Amino acid sequence: MALTVNERAARHRAKIRGENIVELKRGPKRGYKQTKEHVEKRKRRGTEHHAWIGDSASIKSGRCRAERIFDIQPCEMCGESAKRIDRHHKDGDTRNNERSNIKFLCRRCHMREDGRIEKFIDLARKNQPKAVAARWR
């Protein structure tokens, strides 16, 4: 039994005055409740998903897939178990998410493996005088 706004307000005022109000039976919640089986049937991942694009996926989406597939593990080079562990693709193809192609590395070891650490250190050395000067302004 659905009450109008006025009826609900009148019942509320009577309850505040201390009158004995008969509790109404609550009906089913509004909206359609789907069964667990139905929800599970609709869940489609990977090749079963309607929007799956496979190998034509972008580099970024390949990395995101690797992060979803593989849980965080300690760095395979230095053993550090930091929050930020990267999934390094050995062959360089981010869409190839085979377990044999994935290596778990911390950020520093990943940069070292890709050859980016030297550029990063050079950039830091180049910008260090600017950073020190900015602190004294």
DSSP 49: S
In a domain, 121, yes or no: yes
How far is the C-alpha of 107 from the C-alpha of 126, rounded, in Å? Answer: 21
Evaluate the CA torsion angle 98, 99, 105, 106 in order and state its sign. Answer: positive
What percentage of the chain carries pLDDT values higher than 90?
20
Give me the residue label for tokens 């609900």: 8
- Domain residues for the domain of 106 are 58-137
Does position 1 have pLDDT exceeding 70, yes or no?
no
In a domain, 101, yes or no: yes
| Confidence tier at 4 by pLDDT (50, 70, 90) | confident
DSSP 26: P
| Confidence tier at 74 by pLDDT (50, 70, 90) | very high
Give the contacts of 120 (CB within 8 A, at least 6 positions apart).
111
Greatest Cα pair distance in the chain? 80
In a domain, 14, yes or no: no
Q: What is the pLDDT of residues 83-125, one digit of tens each?
A: 788 899 999 888 888 999 999 999 889 999 888 888 888 888 8
In a domain, 135, yes or no: yes
Count of structural domains, the chain: 1
In a domain, 28, yes or no: no
Using left for φ > 0, alpha for ψ between -120 and 50, and beta otherwise, residue 115 falls in: left
Q: Tell me the pTM.
A: 0.55
In a domain, 66, yes or no: yes
How far is the C-alpha of 94 from the C-alpha of 15, rounded, in Å? Answer: 65
Give the contacts of 67 (CB within 8 A, at least 6 positions apart).
87
